Amino acid sequence: MIESLVKAQAYGLGFDLVGIARLGPAETAASFDAWLDRAYEGEMTYMSRGAAKRRDSRLPFPAAKSAIVVGMDYGGREPAGPVARYARGDDYHDVMLDRLNSLHRRLEEAVGARVAGKAYVDTGPILERDLARRAGLGWFGKNTMLINPRRGSFFFLGELLVDLDLEPDAPFATDHCGTCRRCLDACPTGALVEERVLDSTRCISYLTIELKGEIPSRWREAMGESLYGCDICQDVCPWNEKFATSLPDESPYRSRQVIARKDAEPLARALLAMSDEEFRASFKGSPMKRAKLSGLQRNARVLLDRRER
């Protein structure tokens, strides 16, 4: 079966999870619209611009019929620090897109014909968690993360949309959070306003990465040692405590030297001393470029100001 071959090839390329979903209307479309209505996207205006396509996964790439959905671990056992684990190594967009494109080529070789397809890794108007749940990869945790019962939630999602009518996997149908609310209680800014509802404008990841202006004073103390992103709601999750993994030595997500610091202050001072040229050299190929040097220096000033008070 071509589906078994696709999965074997995906695992061979270094993906840790793989499932297949049929494209169609997103089951979470109504929840997504309600989230937008409450303005929880903040300055991420691209969320509303692509809303119509996000509601139906057939629309971003109209030729496609199926999605090959993959997950790739980024090391939930790595020590906590001022930079979220996902951002310490190479840019996951580049790593996963390259591997998904390789999977696309191998799929064409297997069927002996051209296959129309397009890879996405957090790069298009797709509700990726919706597709991943539909492909059997996990359930939506109360912290809004997709949780897999064998790996926890420290993994990236990506998908290859193809014009093949592949046999889909059974959707993940159960919820394993139970009565647990560790993530809601642990969030320093109360960004998890309800179970599975995130107010991005209060989230430390949003404040340190997506927000372009000054960080509101009411959230600065709660940011603690964070310079880029936040892992708290994942750190406290029992599924990660039990199933999160360490990174192998060859992983592209291993921390680069400039970020390999447990204490936030030296990194904050290093960022404030950097020139644009030094920043480009140190963070080439890093997802941290998204915040730009100006954003990282803003975060560094907030952290140092709090420490000096």
160 contacts 98 by C-beta, under 8 angstroms:
no
Q: Is 150 left (phi over 0), alpha (psi -120 to 50) or beta?
A: alpha
Measure the N-to-C terminal CA separation of the chain; round to a whole number of Å: 64
Q: Which residue has the tokens 């209680």?
A: 185
Tokens read off for 70: 């993959």
89 contacts 253 by C-beta, under 8 angstroms:
yes
Quick one: angle between helices 292-308 and 264-273, nearest 10?
130
DSSP labels, 84-128:
-GGGSSS-HHHHHHHHHHHHHHHHHHHHTS---EEEESS-SS--H
Q: Which of 94, 122, 163, 235 is catalytic?
A: 122
User: Comparing C-alpha atoms, which of 103, 149, 117, 119 is closest to residue 11?
Assistant: 103
Cα–Cα dist 14/65, whole Å: 24
Tell me whether residue 235 is one of the annotated catalytic residues. Answer: no
Q: Which are the catalytic amino acids?
A: 122
